[in-house]
Every structure is written in structure tokens, then in C-alpha cells.
Amino acid sequence: MTNLVWLIPAFPLTGFVLLLVFGRRLGEPQAGWLATATVSGSFLSALGVFFGMATKPPEERVYEITLFEWIPSGELSVGLGFLADPLSISMVLFVTGVGALIHMYAIGYMHGDPNFSKFFLYLNLFVFAMLMLVLGDNLLITFLGWEGVGACSYFLISFWHEEPANATAGKKAFVTNRVGDWGFMVAMFLLFFNIGSLKYSDIFSSVIEADALTQTTATGIVAMLFIGAAGKSAQFPLYLWLPDAMAGPTPVSALIHAATMVTSGVYLLTRMNPVLAEAAGWSIDMIWIIGLFTALFAATAAVAQNDIKKVLAYSTVSQLGFMFVAVGSGLYVAAIFHMITHAFFKALLFLGAGSVIHGMHHEQDMRKYGALRKAMPITAFTFIIGWLAIAGIPPFSGFWSKDEVLLAAWNENKVAWAMLLLAAIMTAFYMSRLVFMTFFGEKKWGIPEHGETEEETDTDDDGTHQITPHESPTVMWIPLVILAGLAATAGLLNLPFSYGTKHLEHWLEPILFGNEVHVTASGQTKWILAIIAIVGATTGVLAAAFVYLKNRSLAKQIEHSVLEEAWRFDSTVSNFMGGPGRKSFEATTLFDQKIIDGAVNGVGKVTQRISTKMRSLQTGLIRSYALGMFIGAVAVIAYFVSRMGF
């Protein structure tokens, strides 16, 4: 069945083309169901490939197929091919699975939107690009997908582009990604220059068997790859775009900014682990240090946010930081495990938040929420499961994967572990804050504010002077339930208890080429660390419960405005680009105009002036011309006379 791997990206591509041509005619909701069907078809093909692979022995689980030669250019020969191996199939499974669920959810969420089919068109294109990224058998196909998801991210974030803030957010995402893409491209150039091929199999065999890369080159490549990964996976300082990207519709946030696109960076580094193994220590240390810093930084910012989606956005940045800590410490399996569980619970949380927003008629400020669990029971129930998962409460999946990451940090550096634990406690705190403010406590909706009349508080126009939040339609809560189930049980993938339960580790072994670092801690240490983590998470939950359910006044001290503005980093960058940055750009433009254009135009002007002077020779008078000819004849004869010998 593995030779069906080409079907996996073919389905969403077909969906994209069909929606491009027929989308408007299909209308709502047929366009949405078509899109969902294609992604589900992709998922089923992926399942087929997975079963085909699983039935084979581990050595044979790598399958390459090249469809045709894409770029035959001298020494560079790049083919359009797919590489189906354990890592890519794992990613494909959760990308298409979660993607299909989100497509279904979006049919309900985008109900009534005038550009309904365009949304699904972009979503399908995005899934196609993501699949190319994951399934490509060489770096250039991955880059194609990389750029594709960046472009689709731009389209989807600025979907409601009539609002200028949305368009700006889309632009910001694209430009920030581009900065990272530069790093990716330089890494590609370095790899091609040193190895001569961009295909993963060629690169790995050269690096492992033929030692083709010096340590310096490998270090450079890793640094550049990390820049690319930081752009896509929103690490400091290229995280700026992710909170602003919440301007897009919630299904977009769920799909792109929680489950799939932002994980591309982690995927890339895991895929290139042989190159990372050759690099010098400082570049690898840089990866986990930046990951750790990002995790803490984003966690502190999430504590003070009032927009429900912004909390989740900073939470995503923080959790990505966790994954990079694992990658930097050499425990790639932990990173992938956390990526998978994060996909499930973060998508669940985002979709749940979307459900809340939908039910509250597009109100996103959490200060207007409260006691929603009675009004939206299914949403509340699934959301709580997601909350427990991300907080790290056993037996939900988040606990197991976060524990692996903390173990990776402990293995690397004890101080790093302590800081990461602090970040985990803060995660529990702010997520609990979110849940308590939204679903518990007193209700803050439907109460007229100072100066508002009773009619103005009636935002659902049913004649009563209260907003009545309602539960979402079926097509929206079915994905929530499925994701909740996955978030609860995904921990089974890689339970640490014994060798036999570590399924993910065995599964990913062929692609790791033995580069997985083994944790040197004893079993007892691991138990202690796990208990400390549980205690920390519970403390966070209880602290949030105390502040937000009992004594709200403490909240002001915690939610410092600096935290809300994410330490004012974003505004600093904007001011810099707007101020000195713009001045330097204008100076460059001026240089181009005055000097370069001036030189070119100057040549023209000089020619004009010379020719104006020469024009005076053309008098039109015959006798002047005759004189000129005569003088010329005299000159020629004089020349010949001067050469005669006397």
C-alpha cells in the first residue's frame, strides 16, 4: 500500500482546483463538505500507507518514490518525489486527521460568510502545501511546502481583509516568515555546495558514511536551519506574528497556528538530525536556550492577556519552546511526542474557544465571560479535558509528553529543568485562569455597562435584554468530542514505564540514525521528577482557582500591563522599523535615485550636451561643407607627405 503515497497530497490539490473552478457555484455548505471529503480521503490514504509500512520489518519502512524530474539544471537535479518513512507518516496522519476535523468544524463556524468557498479553497491549498512539506524527499520540495504554508497563512489570516488590522497581521506573518526563510535557503545552499544533492537520502548517506561535512559547515547549516525553524515555529525573536495572527478566523488559528504549520520547524530539525549530530555544541545549545527563553517569555505574557485567543496564541509559542528544548537536548522522540499531543489538545482548545466566541456572538474579551458551562455544556466538557491535558495533569496526554520534555531538560542542564518547570507551572496557571474566567465564576455577560441601555445589551435581538450564549451546532461539536478523546488517550503512544510501551520511540527509530540521546537518570529520579511536575501543575491550578474564583483583587497585581504587552517587545520592533528603520530604507532609496539613476541619467545628459555643441557644425551652408571637405583633404595629404622620405 505504500505506493499510494502520492495520493496523499493529490487529494487536497484536487480539492483546491475543484473549488477554484466550481467553488462559488457549489456554495454553502457543499463546498465545505467537498473540502472535508478531500482531506478525509488524504487521511484514509495515509492510513493505508501506515498499515502498509507497519506490517513490514523496521528496516524496510522507508519508501521513496520519484514522480518526475522537476529541475534538471546541470549539476543540480531535483525530482518531485515523496519519502514515506515513520516520521513523515506520523506527521501526515495527524495533519490530515486534525485537518479533516477542523474542516468539518469550519463548515459550521463560517456559516453565513459571503466568501465561504474561498475559505475552503485556501484551507485545501494549505493542507496540500503542508503535505508537500512533510512528504518531500528533498529539501527543495520541503521548501516548496514551507513557502506554500507561509503564503496560505497570509491568505487565511487576512481572510477578512476589509478590516485593515487583519491585512496588516497577514502581512506581518508573511514578512516575519520570510526572514526565517532566508536562513532555510542559506542552509540549502550550504548543503548543496558541500554534498551536491538536496535529497535527504543522499545527504544522510554522505554525512553518516562519507563524513562529507566538516564541523564548521555543519554548525553553520544548523544555525541557518534554526533561523528558518524559528521563523516558522515562532521562537524569539520571530514570534511576533503569532499573536497578531489571531485576527484570522478561529479554524485557521486551530489548523495553522496550533497543529500544523508551526510544527514545521520542529519537523525540519528532527528530519535533519544527522547534520545536527555533526555540528559543534554551541549551535545545539543555542536551540534549547532559545526554546527555553521563548517558553518562559510567552508564558509570562499569556498570564496577562484578556483576549481568549491571545492566551492560546502565547501558549502555543510557549509549548513550541518546550519542543525546541527537547530537540536541542537531543531527545527528538520527546519533541515529536509533545508535538503530537500538542496538536490534539491545542486544536481542541482553539476549536473550543471558537465555539465560545461563536456562542457569545463574537465577543472575545474574557472579562465578559463567566459561568458558561451551563450554557454550553459540550464545549465546556471538551474544553476542560483539553485544559487538563495542557496543564499536565495525569492521565491526560499532555502530562506524559511534557514529562518527557522535562526529562530532556534535566538531562541537559539542571537549571534549565528548573526554569522549564517554572514555565510548566505558569502554563497550568494561565490555562486555569482562562477556564475559570470563562466557564466558572459569576456571569459577566448580559449586564448593562455604565451608560448602556437595555436594548444595547440585547446582542442577539430576541427581545430580551440579555445575550444568551448558546451551544454550537452539531457539525461543530463532533470534532470537539473526537479531539477530546484523542487528547485524553494520546499518552498511550509513548508511556515511559517499560521498553514495551514506548511505541513511538520504536516507531521513529529508523529515522533517527542512532542520534537519540539516552537519558542517564535512574528510574527513581524519573519518578521523583514526575511527582514534582504533578505537584507543580496542581499548584498552578489551585493558585488560579484562588485568584480568579475567590479573590479577584489579586488579579490586578499579577496582570501587569507590561506582561500584557509581552514586555513591549513587539512595539519596540515596530517603532524601530517605523523610525530608524524607515530612515535607513529611505536613505537607500535616495542613494539609488541620486547616485545610480543620476549616473545613468548623467550619461544621457552629457551626451545631449555634446551633441548640442556638435549640432552647430550642421549649418546647412554648402560652402562651409566644401571648406570642411577641403580641409580634410589637406590634412590627409599632409599626413602622407609627412611620411615620405626626402
Partner 1 sequence: MEAVTFFIAAIVSLAGACGVVFLRNPVHAALSLVATLFGVAIHFINLEAYFLAAVQVIVYAGAIVILFLFVIMLLGVDRAESIKTDPIIGQRQIAVLAVGGILVLGALIGVAFSGDVTGVPPESAQKSTYEGGTAINSDHVHADDEIRPDENIKNIGRALFSTRYVFALEITALLLTIGVVGAVVLTRRPKGELEPLPDDDPPAIYQDDTTNLNVEVTEEEHSDTTEDLKLNELEIEAPDETEVSSE
Partner 2 sequence: MILGLSIGPEYYLALSALLFTIGAGGLLIRRNPLVMFMCIELMLNAANLAFISFGKEMEDLGGQLSVLFVLVVAAAEVVIGLAIVVAVMRRRPKASIDEVSVLRG
**Chain residues in the site for partner 1 (CB under 8 A):** 616, 619-621, 623-624, 627, 630-631, 634, 637-638, 641, 644-646
**Rounded least distance, CB 628 to partner 2, Å:** 10
Residue 167 Cβ vs partner 2, minimum distance, rounded to whole Å: 56
What is the 3 state secondary structure string of 592-606? HHHHHHHHHHHHHHH
Task: Catalog residues that contact partner 2 under the rule CB under 8 A.
Answer: 615, 618-623, 626-627, 630
Residue pair 306/365 in contact (Cβ under 8 Å)? The answer is yes
Residue 68 or 639 with smaller CB distance to partner 1:
639
* 637 contact, one of partner 2, partner 1, none, CB 5-8 Å limit per kind: partner 1
Backbone angles phi, psi at 364, to 5 degrees: -110, -5
Choice between 210 and 621, CB closer to partner 2: 621
Distance CA 197, CA 214 (A): 16
C-beta of 577 vs 631, nearer to partner 1: 631
Cβ-contact 375, 295 below 8 angstroms:
no
Q: How far is the CB of 622 from partner 2 (least distance, A)?
A: 5
Contact (CB, 8 A) for 396 and 385: yes
Cα–Cα dist 400/277, whole Å:
26
**Contact (CB, 8 A) for 226 and 178:** no
The H or E element spanning position 569 is helix 569-576
Count of residues making up the chain: 646
Q: All 3 cell numbers of residue 63?
A: 519508501
Decide whether 556 or 613 has the Cβ nearer to partner 2. Answer: 613
Q: Which is nearer to partner 2, 450 or 623 (CB)?
A: 623
Which residues face 68 on adjacent strands? Answer: 80
Strand partners, 365: 307
In whole angstroms, the minimum distance from the beta carbon of 625 to partner 2 comes to 10
CB of 612 to partner 2, least distance (A): 10
210 binds, among partner 1, partner 2, none (CB under 5 to 8 A by kind): none
Q: Please choose which of partner 2, partner 1, none residue 281 contacts, taking the beta carbon within 5 to 8 angstroms, the exact cut-off set by kind.
A: none
Among partner 1, partner 2, none, partner that 622 touches (CB below 5 to 8 angstroms by kind): partner 2
Closest approach of Cβ 623 to partner 1, in Å? Answer: 6
Beta carbon of residue 609, minimum distance to partner 2 (angstroms, whole number): 15
Q: Are 491 and 401 in contact (CB under 8 A)?
A: yes
Four-point Cα dihedral 541, 546, 550, 552, nearest 10: -100
Pick from partner 1, partner 2, none: which does 553 bind, CB < 5 to 8 A by kind? none
The listed partner (partner 1, partner 2, none) that binds 571, CB under 5 to 8 Å by sort, is none
What's the farthest any 2 CA atoms get from each other in the chain? 125
Q: Which is nearer to partner 1, 76 or 631 (CB)?
A: 631
* 277 three-class SS: helix
The item of partner 2, partner 1, none sharing an interface with residue 518, based on CB under 5 to 8 Å by kind, is: none
Nearer to partner 1, 193 or 640 (CB): 640
